[in-house]
Amino acid sequence: MEETEIHFLNTPETVEELQLDFVPRTFNEYLGQKTLKDKLAVYTTAAKMRNEPLDHLLLFGPPGLGKTTLSQIMAHVMNVGIKICSGPMLERTGDLVAILSGLQPRDILFIDEIHRTPANVEEVLYAAMEQFRVDVIIGQGAGAQTVNLPINPFTLIGATTKSGKLSGPLRSRFGITERLDFYENDELAQIVLQSAKYLNLKLDQKSALTIGSCARGTPRIAKKILRRVRDFAQVNNQNIADFELVKKSLEFLGIDNDGLNTVDNLILSKIITNFNGGPVGLETLASLIGEDAETIETVYEPFLLRKGLLEKTPRGRQIACKALPHLKSKYLGQKTLLI
């Protein structure tokens, strides 16, 4: 099998993960997302048997769940090249035309955050996806001419965290649309064990499950926590991350027994102590904790909502009824008896 051509996004976070994390190369090595993985295995195998490009594919879901990794695996399985870029990077139509012109037959073009692609660049994709050609304008003014430039048949894989912001014309051109869901704790534990082996860190199942339960359903976060646990283990002259060391590491990172980080606890404690459980407006809450409202809504709220700790109401945010006794005890202690 020929070596897969991969062009990675030039971001510090991506570089760090490529250097330090285990990157699956096959569907068997990729843990979790079983239903989606089985579907993609069928699609890619069938396309390879027909010697045709895979249908254009849209992957959507929260960040850090493995959309880029799955695309790399599909390229590896189909024995084709893959070029990776992001929507905001494609500022001019010429940028996209240059990339499309360089694709070999059946290659994959992966565009991350495709919903942020400029409108004029997106229009170039329409003909490229349907007719495998791009329209290039030569000259200016009255003498300008449009030239149809054929390109090799390819597969566009678009990834987005906000599928609702994708334009209708672009969405309709994807033959396959699939969603990635958050991972269960036991799935994250297996990913942690897989990565720990790659990092030469000894870790037991209980410790891996503890890390997985703090990863907010996201493999990327699980791997980041594992790297910090490894740091803590090395500084303490240990090559084994046992349960006690993992607990101390999480405490050092500001992650408590409920899997909540410092900001999570700050949000919940302010609603409890200042508003007796809520409701409270988002802007008011943002002012109290010194964080902007959009960050609270997009980064912290989804996890708190999924854990059943927070609720969104027409009047604002409030603590979920089932979680109220536990959180009052946690943040108020003996004061709970007075409320």
Is 67 considered catalytic here?
yes
Task: Please tell me which residue in 14, 161, 273, 336 is annotated as part of the active site.
Answer: 161
Render 20-74 in DSSP notation, one character per residue: HS----STTTS-S-HHHHHHHHHHHHHHHHHT-PPPPEEEESSTTSSHHHHHHHH
Give the separation between CA 86 and CA 256, rounded to whole angstroms: 35
User: How is residue 189 written in tokens?
Assistant: 């534990």
Task: Please tell me which residue in 67, 216, 224, 330 is annotated as part of the active site.
Answer: 67
Q: Which residue has the tokens 């051109």?
A: 173
Task: Please tell me which residue in 21, 93, 106, 112 is annotated as part of the active site.
Answer: 112
Task: Please tell me which residue in 220, 224, 328, 330 is annotated as part of the active site.
Answer: 220
Q: Quick one: how far is CA 166 from the chain centroid?
A: 17
Task: Please tell me which residue in 4, 21, 44, 68 is annotated as part of the active site.
Answer: 68
DSSP collapsed to 3 states, 250-314: HHHCCCCCCCCCHHHHHHHHHHHHHHCCCCECHHHHHHHHCCCHHHHHHHHHHHHHHCCCEEEEC
Q: Which residue has the tokens 């890390």?
A: 211
Is 68 considered catalytic here?
yes
Q: Which residue has the tokens 């410790």?
A: 207
Is 220 considered catalytic here?
yes
Is 227 considered catalytic here?
no
How, if at all, do strands 108-112 and 82-86 pair?
Answer: parallel
Dihedral angle sign, alpha carbons of residues 26, 32, 38, 40: negative
Is 11 considered catalytic here?
no
Annotated active-site positions, please?
A: 67-68, 112, 161, 220
